[in-house]
Amino acid sequence: MYLSTVKGYIPNKMLYAIRVFLEFCYIAQHDIITEGTLIELEDALSHFHEYQGIFQEEGIQGKGFSLL
């Protein structure tokens, strides 16, 4: 819900990186972790790693904000 409010104000890659990071956090909070849950976690983490470089490209890392 909140991500839609910043759409258009930050690069799409950054929006996607934040979305998959939040997805990873949400999945990791499940009470029961199954084989399927682990696959979802790996998928979200893989996608985050694919897009995390946008924070360095935009010069955000190291300014009190880091997801890396």
Share of the chain above pLDDT 90, in %: 38
Q: How confident is the model at residue 32 (pLDDT cuts 50, 70, 90)?
A: very high
Phi, psi of 9, rounded to the nearest 5 degrees: -100, -20
pLDDT surpassing 70 at residue 36:
yes
**Residue linked to tokens 């790693």:** 49
pLDDT surpassing 60 at residue 66:
no
pTM of the complete model beyond 0.75? no
Q: Do the beta carbons of residue 17 and residue 67 sit within 8 Å? A: yes
Looking only at Cα atoms, what is the longest distance across the chain?
38
Distance CA 38, CA 50 (A): 18
Element spanning 18, H or E: helix 12-28
Task: Map out the domains of the chain as residue ranges.
Answer: 11-57
